[in-house]
Amino acid sequence: MKKLFLFLLAFGFMFGLAACGTRDDDVEKTKIALITDYGDIDDESFNQGTWEGILAYAEQHGMEIEYFRPAEVSDADYIDSIDLAVELGFGIIVTPGFLFQRAIYESQNTHPDVKFILLDAQPRDATGNFVVGPNTLSIFYDEHESGFLAGYAAVMEGFTNLGFMGGIAVPAVVRFGIGFIAGAYYAALQEEVELVFPNNRYDYLGTFNAGPGVETQAAGWFDDGTEVIFAAAGGAGLSVMSAATDKDAWMIGVDVDQSGLSERVMTSAMKALAASVQLALDSYYIDEDFAGGETWYLGAANDGVALPFETSRFETFTEAQYNEIFALLADGTIEVPATYAELVAFFEDLDILDLLLIEQDTVSPPPSG
């Protein structure tokens, strides 16, 4: 038996299947599995946000759900987890994040009768081609819009010395950072304030894991005058949070509402993880027309991104101001840049290109080797 079975954590929940009138031949349709990436369902990030969506859906509709935590971060272990879920009769499998690109590519072919929901990625073959199979739905989020809202809010709250820490320079994290820069400078121009956001206050940590090195780096930034760090870094954000607490500074969380983790979390650049999973499940269970082969892009226009205003610790930035800027994103009045080239064009349109100090190779590092 593979090592997966020694380390696998699987927890099942039943919610009134009999009350729903489920037929015996439909049992697999009512079984939903989550395969976690490198964390657990209480990671206050991607896994938890996704699981909460599945959990809420199960409570409402009467489904059996389980989550599976692979032994290690590898395609082989992800595939082993998926195979086990299928063996146990799960007909829908949800996977969060880019780490599942290869595993879902293989599994969508191996298990054509199983439905896959892949968040923040598309299945990718060994040659780098993206192939969304007829039994797979890929969902992306407009992280640049969420990052824009976070940067805008920070400056509107009165902070003018900012920093960004990403985990690894994967596309989603890069988009968060680009949007954060754009939103901060848009607000600074609007409020006629000078912004301090130098090239050496934008960095990718090379990890999504918490660690003393991350905390030390964040503490150094705070000591040098940085008032707010946006940490789009998964678990590494916890180390930034710890530094913010020690230095009486502020940080911005990511993916889900992280306000409950520390009083120094000013707000969080959220993706509608739970809501998007529920929409995808509705396409199967309610509409009876699973959106297989499709790729969804969710942003402000369809409530795919947001700041959790009710739990944010704003003292100056008002809800009316938030609603106003959100509406400008939603209706396309403000087109938020998602690439460095678009960021340059954005600054040119605002006639502030000379203020952009963060360089292209910093934001979008060239491939190593």
Residues 186 and 118 in one domain: no
Residue 369 lies in a domain: no
Residues 192 and 212 in one domain: yes
Check residue 303 and give left, alpha or beta (phi > 0: left; psi -120 to 50: alpha). Answer: left
Nearest to 203 by CA among 165, 176, 231: 165
Residues 247 and 283 in one domain: no
- Model pTM? 0.85
Residue 131 lies in a domain: yes
Half-sphere exposure for 98 (CA within 13 Å, toward CB):
11
Residues 75 and 181 in one domain: no
Residue 368 lies in a domain: no
Residues 163 and 311 in one domain: yes
Residues 49 and 93 in one domain: yes
Residues 34 and 56 in one domain: yes
pLDDT for residue 19 is more than 70: no
Around Cβ 144, how many Cβ atoms within 10 Å? 29
* 332 strand-pairing partners: none
List, for residues 51-108, the tens digit of each pLDDT value. 999 999 999 999 999 999 999 999 999 999 999 999 999 999 999 988 999 999 999 9
Residue 262 lies in a domain: yes
Query: How is residue 19 written in tokens?
Result: 């009350």
The CATH number of residue 291's host domain is: 3.40.50.2300
- Spatial separation of the C-alpha atoms in residues 172 and 208, rounded to whole Å: 13
- Specify the range with the lowest mean pLDDT, choosing from 12-21, 122-131, 291-300: 12-21
pLDDT of residue 224: 98
- Specify the range with the lowest mean pLDDT, choosing from 18-27, 104-113, 226-235, 241-250: 18-27
Nearest to 70 by CA among 13, 122, 3, 167: 3
Residues 343 and 358 in one domain: yes
* Higher pLDDT among residues 12 and 267, named by residue: 267
Residues 88 and 231 in one domain: no
* Higher pLDDT among residues 13 and 143, named by residue: 143
pLDDT of residue 1: 40
Mean pLDDT within 172-177: 96
Cβ pair 133, 109 in contact under 8 A: yes
Residues 264 and 153 in one domain: yes
Q: Of the residues 285, 301, 317, which one is the last residue of a structural domain?
A: 301
pLDDT of residue 296: 97
Residue 39 lies in a domain: yes
pLDDT of residue 3: 39
- In the chain, pLDDT over 70 holds for what percent of residues? 92
The torsion of the CA quartet 116, 134, 78, 100, rounded to 10 degrees, works out to: -90
- Spatial separation of the C-alpha atoms in residues 354 and 245, rounded to whole Å: 34
Residue 48 lies in a domain: yes
Q: Beta strands 228-232 and 162-166: pairing type?
A: parallel
pLDDT of residue 40: 87
Q: Model confidence at 368, in pLDDT bands (50, 70, 90)? A: low
Residue 164 lies in a domain: yes
pLDDT of residue 288: 87
Residues 88 and 73 in one domain: yes
Query: How is residue 80 written in tokens?
Result: 């082993």
- Say how many domains are in the chain: 2
Residues 97 and 45 in one domain: yes
Mean pLDDT within 193-218: 97
Range of the domain at 121: 4-141+273-301
* 253 strand-pairing partners: 268
Q: Of the residues 283, 301, 319, which one is the last residue of a structural domain?
A: 301
pLDDT for residue 338 is more than 90: yes
